[in-house]
Structure 1
Amino acid sequence: MSEVIEIKAAFTTGDTGDIEGIAWPFGKADRVGDVIEKGAFAGAPTSLPMLWAHDQSQVIGVWTSIIEGQKGLELKGHLLINDVAKAREVHAMVRAGAASGLSIGFQTKSATPIRGGGRTIRSVDLLECSVVAVPANADARITSIKSNSLSNQDVTPMDNEVIEDEAETVDLAETISELKASLAETTKAFDALKTDHQKLATRLNRPGVITAKTEDAAETETKAFRAFVAGDQKALSVTGDSGGKGGVLAPATFQATVQRLLIEASPFRQFASVMTIGAPSIELPVQDSAVQVSWVGENETRPDTDAAFSTLTIDTFGMGAQVSISNDLIADSQVDIMSIIASDFAKQAAKAEGLAFLDGDGTKKPTGLLRNANVAVQDATGTTLAIDDIVDLTVSLPNEYARSSKLFMNRKTRAALRKLALAEAPDAWGDSLAAGTPSTFLGFPIIELPDLDDVAADATPILFGDLAQTFRVVDRAGLTLFSDPYTKAANNMTVVHVNRRVGGAVINPDAMTFYTMAAA
């Protein structure tokens, strides 16, 4: 299961972009009750990507030191402030106090449920660590910010708690004693492993020995999924954790397949920015005012123009579907039941969420892009398409957004625009010369969104802008499943219920323009 969990973390950063902190404090649960034990990060890689808010398209640095210390998982790295614009922006937010936490992304390998909620996690695969604005734990914050204007020993304490923490001392003799004991245990375990290896090598070298074939994780998971669909509600315990009311957590392979199919089936997801979170909602920083730059003389005081930030909360909403499967198909070992269920659910989910992302009313679903009053609207001169109107639309955005903008419309509108362009401005239209490459108008790609309006009075048939900078899709980590072999037993069918949580919101209305037809 792939998860992203917000945690309490404290870190420092310097003017050169160096950054360090505790990404997970041992012995402390996060707000959903999960506790990761010391030793769970054994085998962690020597370096990790540093992301902004778990967005894989926004790599802002690299973690170069990953150590399990006495207090927790200690990371050191540096922001790529000389090469990546987003890294410089995050660096400024950290120094201004607008971004104050760390959050790790990992895949659970071994865990045990805790009575009352949460889990004790004993082993994970660490995938990445992100800088975030609002961590899940309210106490997570930056303890100090280093500055080149201070000496190496100078820091700015944030409160008394930090001062007391800096004043803690370590009994060196006790630490050395613990290290010696740990080294002795490690040496003993290595000797035992070496002996076992020698015995195994001797056995394999004997003639005529045939060893049993072992199943890999994917094969084991596939068999468990088939058994679960057939009615064994405990079959998926081999995949890891269970949770969710009335169901179990879907295996990692199933979740990955659904996610891939969702992207393939949803044009909106392909062009919006997408992130995964481990909580029911997330708060994102929004820059309300930009830094102002002024011309000044050599000895004049530079004006104080700090940027102002606020937060945007994106909630996730439940989405469910039921897939009916023939019991004969379930019994047929040659049929990939997991792929069938994943495909059916992904198609239904992509259609439902695509409509919600465009025109959702916010009731048990996200508020759609078309309902955001802060997005600019360009009114057409009539109730039919006009070349001059579309040309004006393509220059309606600032250059910083126009360079990566696209024209979004449904298939009927695209056909009407092509006919109009070929009749009145043939040089403006560019047909696609390769599969998967969109046609263009004035050099801007034309992307089909089937849920947009047809051309009609008062309709909004075309969007122009950069959807990735305009809209953020948020997926809640984890799908839950429930197998019902009884409701349609008379029809020789089993019903599998699939549930997930997803949200979305406009994060930057300045990067999009609506094209609205005139009234009748």
Structure 2
Amino acid sequence: MAIDEKDVNEVAKELKGAFEDFKKANDKELDAIKAEKQKLEEKTDKMNEKLGEIDNLKAELEKELKAAKRPDAAKGKDVEAHKKAFLQFLRKGSDDGLADLQQKAVQVAVEADGGYAVPEELDRTLLQLLKDESPMRRVCNTITVSTSDYKKLVNLGGAGSGWVGETTARPATNTPTLAQIVATMGEIYANPQATQTSLDDVFFDVEQWLSEEVAREFAEKEGSAFLTGDGTNKPKGILAHTLATKADDARAFGSLQKLVSGSAGVFSGDNLIDLIYSLKRGYRQNASFMMNGLTVAKARKLKDTDGNYLWQPGLQQGQPSLLLGYGIEENEDMPDAAADANAIMFGDFKRGYTIVDRMGTRTLRDPFTNKPYVGFYTTKRVGGMLTDSNAIKVLALSA
């Protein structure tokens, strides 16, 4: 059979038609896959968000349960008298005998400048509320001092040793090196407002209101300072210290080790494993991750080579959700997972960073500046110090 040009043209025409049909079918299939993928991504994101809410709810319920079991602090006679006089000062502005009472109850000398030390019990309540509100106070070491000039000596190591025989001479060995670290202090303030009418109302719990308002304001400012504060009129935060890629034995004291993810704005399960094992074994026992909620959501999607999720929910009471076997402290002051961001920290924060509270929160009652409101200008000296730069590691999402 002879084949002419007409036959080839017909086959080519049929091929073109078949290809057009194929493209339509394939495009339809791809569109369907894309639509289904988008639906699944939306569904996954919603479930991820819900999972985070449930996880946070569990942690909050456990916190409330712990608070409910906390015994009340013992109330001494002087403390009760100081508290009663202080609440009268808040409600009515009457400071009769308050200066004498506060020196007996709080045992700190304060100048009579119109401000008064918060009663001991109220100060402890404020600190507990701050701990509940602030992720940094939950995981870091916290101390209360009577002076704003707080210093601490740390051992940098360097002691020598050697093997000797029974009668061999024993020459002097190297002496350990000590370094002095100083807390960077700052004054934090809040100025909540209330009407005199509400203060006169016997149903208005001014003590609880003042504690909650001040704690909320302090927690927001403190949390950011303990993490990224530059040390000017505020504490110097963890991430404000020098970051270096060198290991512990080669890095300068007071600088933190930074690991690099290898991809801008992205991290993997391998990055998290490297971060964990960059920390010496002695620190890993009480270590945890710190990242913000969006980064937690990304970490929750990571799997190992067998398809197992690296994040596991805490299903028992008192058991937190774990990432690679370690707890996660969610801190919204941590940077988002973006290019070159120091988005994830891992370490023993109690050993690594200390929050220093200056004893005595002070309140000045101001009924004049913002009538008809009464302002309660509340101040507190607080600081922070990096106590062990080997105890905390940072993951930078850089190429």
For the aligned residues, what is the CA RMSD? 2.3
Aligned to 1:376: 257
Displacement after TM superposition at 1:488 (Å): 2.7
Question: Please, which of 131, 138, 142 is the counterpart of residue 274 of structure 1?
Answer: 142
Whether contact under 8 Å (2:269, 2:304) holds in the other structure is: no
> For residue 138 of structure 2, what is the amino acid of its counterpart?
Q
Q: Secondary structure at the match of 1:483?
A: strand
Work out the CA distance in 2 between the residues paired with 1:475 and 1:398.
Answer: 29
> For residue 397 of structure 1, what is the amino acid of its counterpart?
L
Closer, same or farther: CA 424–380 of 1 in aligned 2, 3 Å? farther
Aligned to 2:53: none
Which runs of structure 2 are paired with 1:79-98 in the superposition (5 Å)?
Answer: none
> For residue 139 of structure 2, what is the amino acid of its counterpart?
F
Closer, same or farther: CA 404–300 of 1 in aligned 2, 3 Å? farther
1:183-240 C-alpha deviation (Å, 9 max, x unpaired): xxxxxxxxxxxxxxxxxxxxxxxxxxxxxxxxx6565444322321122134634632
Q: Which has the larger radius of gyration?
A: 2
Aligned to 2:102: 240
Unaligned runs of 5+ in 2: 1-74, 104-108, 243-254
1:258-309 C-alpha deviation (Å, 9 max, x unpaired): 1111111111111111111111211100212242343333333445232121
User: Which is strand-richer, 1 or 2?
Assistant: 1
> Is 1:224 the counterpart of 2:91 in the alignment?
no
Work out the CA distance in 1 between the residues paired with 2:115 and 2:273.
Answer: 53
TM-score (norm 1): 0.55
Work out the CA distance in 1 between the residues paired with 2:262 and 2:374.
Answer: 55
Which runs of structure 2 are paired with 1:462-473 in the superposition (5 Å)?
Answer: 462-473=344-355
Closer, same or farther: CA 297–404 of 1 in aligned 2, 3 Å? farther
Which runs of structure 2 are paired with 1:251-262 in the superposition (5 Å)?
Answer: 251-262=119-130
1:440-461 C-alpha deviation (Å, 9 max, x unpaired): 1221111111100111101111
TM-score (norm 2): 0.71
Work out the CA distance in 2 between the residues paired with 1:430 and 1:407.
Answer: 14
User: Which is helix-richer, 1 or 2?
Assistant: 2
1:70-122 C-alpha deviation (Å, 9 max, x unpaired): xxxxxxxxxxxxxxxxxxxxxxxxxxxxxxxxxxxxxxx9xxxxxxxxxxxxx
Closer, same or farther: CA 471–224 of 1 in aligned 2, 3 Å? same
Equivalenced residue count is 304
Q: Higher RCO, 1 or 2 (CA under 8 Å, sep at least 6)?
A: 2
Q: Secondary structure at the match of 2:327?
A: strand
Aligned to 1:208: none
> For residue 503 of structure 1, what is the amino acid of its counterpart?
G
Identity of aligned residues (%): 29
> For residue 506 of structure 1, what is the amino acid of its counterpart?
L
Aligned to 1:172: none
Which runs of structure 2 are paired with 1:289-304 in the superposition (5 Å)?
Answer: 289-302=157-170, 303-304=172-173
Question: Please, which of 371, 391, 399 is the counterpart of residue 511 of structure 1?
Answer: 391
Q: Secondary structure at the match of 1:498?
A: strand
Unaligned runs of 5+ in 1: 1-108, 110-124, 126-215
> Is 1:502 the counterpart of 2:370 in the alignment?
no
Work out the CA distance in 2 between the residues paired with 1:419 and 1:439.
Answer: 14
Which runs of structure 2 are paired with 1:474-493 in the superposition (5 Å)?
Answer: 474-489=356-371, 491=372, 493=373
Work out the CA distance in 2 between the residues paired with 1:315 and 1:376.
Answer: 21
> For residue 381 of structure 1, what is the amino acid of its counterpart?
G
Work out the CA distance in 2 between the residues paired with 1:232 and 1:284.
Answer: 41
Work out the CA distance in 1 between the residues paired with 2:277 and 2:139.
Answer: 20
Which runs of structure 2 are paired with 1:41-120 in the superposition (5 Å)?
Answer: none
Aligned to 1:433: 315
Work out the CA distance in 2 between the residues paired with 1:393 and 1:289.
Answer: 24
Closer, same or farther: CA 427–299 of 1 in aligned 2, 3 Å? farther
Closer, same or farther: CA 392–422 of 1 in aligned 2, 3 Å? closer
Whether contact under 8 Å (1:280, 1:315) holds in the other structure is: no
Work out the CA distance in 2 between the residues paired with 1:291 and 1:237.
Answer: 52
Whether contact under 8 Å (2:225, 2:237) holds in the other structure is: yes
Question: Please, which of 189, 206, 209 is the counterpart of residue 340 of structure 1?
Answer: 209
